């Protein structure tokens, strides 16, 4: 699953400062967003890493369905590996949530900063950029909830495989719930990708206009 990255270089904000020659409302807006996005990503994109871990979990699940275990491993070892994979995914999701929360903290005064921008064109573009980011925040909240439900369904599926003797009807039911939950996750990831693209476009448009007016 492709997951777009959002980036906003601190250098970009520095360029604006250099062009205007003094601190202006647009400078503060760009600088604030630069710091917020740095806080969100915190040196890595956890959602990209999470997508990789999802593939590992799906591969383990497929091996259990087809062979009852991963190659050269006992069923118990395979199930233990799967449970560890789920815990790793939970940690990555929580790390991303922490980054999002820190970004929101840094953006608390952004509406006031944008309101001080004198140029009508720049203010309009700043409002559009900010709204695009807020849309992302909301969708991430929905995605977080969908992931939590997916992890719950995945853990229930693991428990079904652990039962002795194995109940194939129960596994079939759990597999359906597992697939449905991850389908919802994928739908929200696609939505988040689109909103990230929209944010990046709005951000780039604001920066380019600010440079021209500098």
Domain ranges of the chain: 10-213
pLDDT at 9: 45
38-47: per-residue pLDDT in tens? 999 876 789 9
83-104: per-residue pLDDT in tens? 999 999 999 999 999 999 999 9
Q: Which of 88-97, 164-173, 202-211 has the highest mean pLDDT?
A: 88-97
Q: How far apart are CA 130 and CA 117, in angstroms?
A: 14
Q: How far apart are CA 50 and CA 54, in angstroms?
A: 6
Does domain 10-213 fall into CATH 1.10.1740.10? no
- Which of left, alpha, beta for 22 (phi over 0: left; psi -120 to 50: alpha)? beta
| Mean of pLDDT values over 13-22 | 46
| Mean of pLDDT values over 120-135 | 96
By mean pLDDT, which of 71-75, 82-86, 173-177, 197-201 is the weakest? Answer: 71-75
Q: What is the pTM of this model?
A: 0.88
Neighbour tally for 202: CB within 10 Å: 19
Q: How far apart are CA 209 and CA 214, in angstroms?
A: 9
The more confidently predicted of residues 169 and 214 is 169
Q: How many CA atoms lie within 13 A of 160 on its CB side?
A: 21
49-78: per-residue pLDDT in tens? 999 999 999 888 888 877 766 677 788 888
pLDDT at 3: 62
**Helices 120-162 and 75-106, axial angle in degrees (round to 10):** 160
Q: How far apart are CA 77 and CA 67, in angstroms?
A: 14
């Amino acid at each position: 699953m492709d997951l777009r990255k959002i980036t906003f270089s601190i250098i970009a904000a520095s360029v604006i400062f250099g062009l205007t020659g003094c601190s202006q409302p647009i400078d503060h807006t760009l600088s604030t967003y630069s710091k917020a996005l740095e806080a969100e990503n915190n040196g890595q994109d956890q959602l990209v890493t999470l997508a990789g871990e999802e593939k590992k979990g799906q591969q383990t699940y497929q091996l259990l369905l087809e062979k009852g275990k991963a190659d050269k491993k006992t069923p118990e070892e395979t199930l233990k590996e799967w449970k560890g994979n789920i815990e790793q995914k939970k940690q990555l999701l929580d790390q991303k949530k922490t980054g999002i929360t820190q970004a929101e903290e840094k953006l608390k005064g952004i509406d006031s900063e944008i309101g001080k921008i004198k140029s009508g064109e720049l203010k309009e573009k700043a409002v559009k950029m900010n709204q695009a980011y807020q849309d992302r925040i909301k969708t991430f909240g929905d995605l977080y909830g969908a992931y939590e439900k997916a992890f719950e369904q995945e853990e229930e599926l693991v428990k079904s495989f652990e039962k002795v003797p194995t109940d194939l009807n129960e596994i079939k039911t759990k597999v359906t719930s597992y697939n449905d939950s991850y389908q919802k996750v994928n739908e929200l990831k696609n939505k988040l990708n689109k909103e990230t693209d929209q944010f990046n476009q709005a951000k780039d448009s604001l920066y380019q206009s600010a440079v021209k007016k500098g």
